[in-house]
Structure 1
Amino acid sequence: MPIIKANGINIACRDEGQGPAILLCHGWPELGHSWRQQVPALVAAGYRVIVPDMRGFGDTDAPDAVEDYTILHLVGDMVGLLDALRIDACAIIGHDWGAPVAWHAALMRPDRFRAVAGLSVPWSPRGSHGSLVGMARAQGLDRFYMVWFQEPGVAEADLEHDPYETQRRLLVGASGAAAASGAGWPLMIPPGKGLVDACPPAESLPHWLTEADMQTYAATYRRTGYRGGLNWYRNLDRNWALTAPWHGAPIKVPACFIAGSLDGVLRMPGMDKAMRAMDGVTCTDFRGSTLINGAGHWVQQEAPDAVNRALTMFLAGL
């Protein structure tokens, strides 16, 4: 992918099509490749589609310092990308960790991000009692996977032992089929195990994940390691402190939410409340939620046609 200098780093970015701009933000442990089924559909619908590898991922720079991965850096990267491409404003769409980036971009810079769609992770405004990691620690949940990610080097050793097996278990393990069978990956990591060992082996690949896709993910993570993406999690406490100026502020640009009906994120504590609150409370121009039956966490890969329909309908209404 072409490399663009933005916000002080080099960002690898796919840029296709003509028309109103759309920025697609991927999550963890993924790459811009996770949007491979959306780009052609959105280009065909008349949009310019911009797909970066996010900070710390793929061919984009991965700064050394943990504190260089805050939500302000991540939103700043997206603003810097628009500046570098000479785009005044765009719609921003994010999945998994990319969803909080998209939600915060819309909250912080509504002048640059004219609409927002979150996939898999609903908008959860800053709470009054600390970050998700801080609250988990306070409850003694030291094996909660986000807490387990906090110590530099521990998760890296586990995930980087065999990136092919890591990607295979994590991607298949958070799918709708795995959730339906009860074989998904756990939120709590059993003592004596790492995340990869805690996920059941995947006997075969699902229809939405080809061997070529697996090789793309595995080859990239074999080269880059997992440190960059893990550093996003290591800033959750810091993000809670940095976002104090926006405490209680709603998202005012048009917004929508899309998720698989079997996404494990929706069963995490507080997610049902967050989903209800988007409709007129935390988002003042909410255009609706779309739950795709049978899909799991990797919704745009598992159910691309349904996601593409939902996105094009939302975008057409702007």
Structure 2
Amino acid sequence: MLRCARALCSRLPRGRRAFASSSPSTQLPMDGGDGAGDGIAHRTVAVNGINMHVAEKGEGPAVLLLHGFPELWYTWRHQMHGLAASGYRVVAPDLRGFGDTDAPTDTAAYSMLHIVGDLIALLNTLGQDQVFVVGHDWGSMVAWNLSMLRPDKVKAMVSLSQVFTPRNPMRKPLQYLKSVFGDDYYIVRFQEPGKIEEEFARFGTAWVLRKFLTYHNPGPFYITKDQGWVLPAPEIPLPSWLSEADIKYYTSKYEKTGFTGALNYYRCLDLNWELTAPWTEARIKVPVKFIVGDQDLTYHSPGTQDFIHKGGLKKYVPLLEEAVVMEGVGHFINEEKPDEITKHIYNFIKKF
């Protein structure tokens, strides 16, 4: 179980300036290939038994940005510039198992209680009693759980792409995914340790990252030959919002660490279901903004749209603002529409 964080004396400052737009990916300076351009500071902090890499920029109320798969702190580079220029201290870690943060070898060390515990320890290290939290994909799942388990640490949260999923006491997550999508569904394919890592190695890190990051289809993601997972690997053109420099940065980190740490998040789905039994029917008691693209595969999961728009999400998230559905936008919403997402985040958190 999570350990209670010790009380902190300081409170976040309340001052802020007018919104400033972020700069596009192609204009992001790369210092020595480490992605630390435009005044983004990098350091390593000891938290919860691991060393965590953290990117930071700005001063003011703290905003914690949590990335998903197959991403890193780098996915937030646009929002970091815009929010920092608007009077916020922006903190974007590489989560456990990703990038330059330690990756424990035990799969069970990636439970949601471990991940949330990392963040509580990070807030203590940063000297923050409360923060705004923004998450995308797995980062959104972490943000939901942080807000559920430790609402005292969250002023408000913004969820991108991933809606809150109430725990179903009658059905384990993997059993449900297999019954709906079958054995070739990507999350199901991720489950056997080592097997999908071997497949990724045959295709090459850069190709695998291009395959995931360019996915712009509302249908489910499968790893089958008819979905392009065949050698020789077909060429994958990049959209305008994703550059070769971006792919190069992601590839440099995943080639160093491998994919196992990131995949262990998926391998803990049933473990998380077991560990969070005491929070069955729990409500999210912090203010929330939910934003999703209408071409996002998560938005088209069975029952999701009805849950969002017919009162189900509001039941579990009573302080939810009306959901924002962005037209023509896929899963990687914060990179595809960086300025719009930065504005949505700013306009929401400035209220508190």
Establish whether TM, by shorter chain, passes 0.5. yes
The match for 1:65 is 106
User: What pairs with 1:1-318 in structure 2 (closer than 5 Å)?
Assistant: 1-138=42-179, 141-161=182-202, 162-172=204-214, 174-175=215-216, 179=217, 186-190=220-224, 196-197=229-230, 201-276=234-309, 277=311, 279-318=313-352
Q: In structure 1, how many angstroms separate the alpha carbons of the residues matched to 2:68 and 2:337?
A: 17
Contact 1:25 1:102 (8 Å CA) reproduced: yes
Instruction: Give the aligned residue type for 1:114.
Output: K
Q: Which runs of 5+ in 2 are unaligned?
A: 1-41
1:51-83 deviations in Å (ceiling 9; x for gaps) = 000110000000000000001111111111001
Contact 1:145 1:195 (8 Å CA) reproduced: no
Instruction: Give the aligned residue type for 1:287.
Output: E
SS of the residue corresponding to residue 51 of structure 1 reads strand
> Compared with structure 1, are the counterparts of its residues 285 and 234 closer, same or farther at alpha carbon in structure 2 (3 Å cutoff)?
same
Question: Whose radius of gyration is greater, 1 or 2?
Answer: 2
- Following TM superposition, by how much is the alpha carbon of 1:110 offset from its aligned partner in structure 2, in angstroms? 0.6
> Compared with structure 1, are the counterparts of its residues 196 and 317 closer, same or farther at alpha carbon in structure 2 (3 Å cutoff)?
farther
Q: Which runs of 5+ in 1 are unaligned?
A: none
Q: Calculate percent identity across the aligned residue pairs.
A: 38
Q: In structure 1, how many angstroms separate the alpha carbons of the residues matched to 2:260 and 2:277?
A: 27
Moved more, 159-168 or 20-29: 159-168
Aligned residues: 308
- Give the TM-score taking structure 2 as reference length: 0.83
- Give the TM-score taking structure 1 as reference length: 0.91
1:18-55 deviations in Å (ceiling 9; x for gaps) = 11111000000111101111001111111110000011
- Following TM superposition, by how much is the alpha carbon of 1:189 offset from its aligned partner in structure 2, in angstroms? 3.2
- Following TM superposition, by how much is the alpha carbon of 1:155 offset from its aligned partner in structure 2, in angstroms? 1.0
Q: RMSD of aligned C-alpha atoms?
A: 2.0
Instruction: Give the aligned residue type for 1:10.
Output: N
Q: In structure 1, how many angstroms separate the alpha carbons of the residues matched to 2:83 and 2:228?
A: 35
Q: In structure 2, how many angstroms separate the alpha carbons of the residues matched to 1:301 and 1:39?
A: 12
- Following TM superposition, by how much is the alpha carbon of 1:90 offset from its aligned partner in structure 2, in angstroms? 0.3
Q: In structure 2, how many angstroms separate the alpha carbons of the residues matched to 1:288 and 1:202?
A: 40
Q: In structure 2, how many angstroms separate the alpha carbons of the residues matched to 1:212 and 1:185?
A: 28
Structure 1 runs of 4+ off > 6 angstroms? 192-195
Instruction: Give the aligned residue type for 1:169.
Output: K
Moved more, 129-138 or 158-167: 129-138
Instruction: Give the aligned residue type for 2:261.
Output: G
Contact 1:90 1:113 (8 Å CA) reproduced: yes
